[in-house]
């Protein structure tokens, strides 16, 4: 979602004094999703929404609490394309699997079981 659209939605909850009151859970979830996709600085993010860092801290705290409690809808399944060999009958890839974790870390797995163990421990 575009930050200008989020800003307009957020402005409907501002009082005349500039305070944010009664922001609904759906908007909080949308703000958290936009923040997780944001690649710039935090200052640029909250200024694009027309809020201060104090207001954004309160909103993000509430949104993260919703996420922990399971209120936030799960993200869609994303298929991981493997490069290299084809899967064999035992469920292994001939050249292994490579996972790019958060875009900066490269992790290589020799078997599917190793990958699944890693993903279970990471969640």
Residues 21, 65, single domain; the answer is: yes
Full domain range(s) for residue 115? 79-123
Residues 95, 57, single domain; the answer is: no
Per-residue pLDDT of the chain (123 residues; tens, 9 = 90+): 578 888 999 999 988 988 889 988 888 988 988 888 888 888 999 899 988 888 888 899 999 998 888 776 555 556 666 555 554 444 444 456 777 777 777 777 777 777 788 788 776
Last residue of a domain, one of 44, 69, 94: 69
Residues 84, 64, single domain; the answer is: no
Inside any domain, residue 37: yes
Over its C-alpha atoms, the chain yields an Rg (Å, rounded) of 20
Report the number of distinct structural domains present in the chain.
2
Q: Rounded CA gap, 1 and 26, in Å?
A: 13
- For the whole prediction, is pTM greater than 0.85? no
């Amino acid at each position: 979602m575009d930050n200008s659209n989020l800003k307009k939605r957020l402005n409907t909850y501002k009082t005349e004094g500039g305070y944010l009151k009664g922001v609904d859970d759906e908007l909080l979830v949308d703000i958290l999703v936009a923040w997780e996709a944001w690649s710039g600085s935090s200052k640029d993010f909250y200024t694009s929404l027309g809020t201060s860092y104090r207001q954004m801290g309160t909103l993000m705290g509430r949104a993260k609490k919703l996420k922990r409690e399971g209120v936030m809808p799960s993200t869609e399944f994303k298929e991981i394309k493997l490069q290299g060999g084809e899967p064999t009958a035992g469920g292994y890839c001939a050249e292994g699997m490579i996972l790019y974790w958060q875009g900066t870390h490269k992790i290589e797995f020799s078997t599917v079981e190793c990958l699944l163990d890693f993903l279970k421990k990471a969640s």
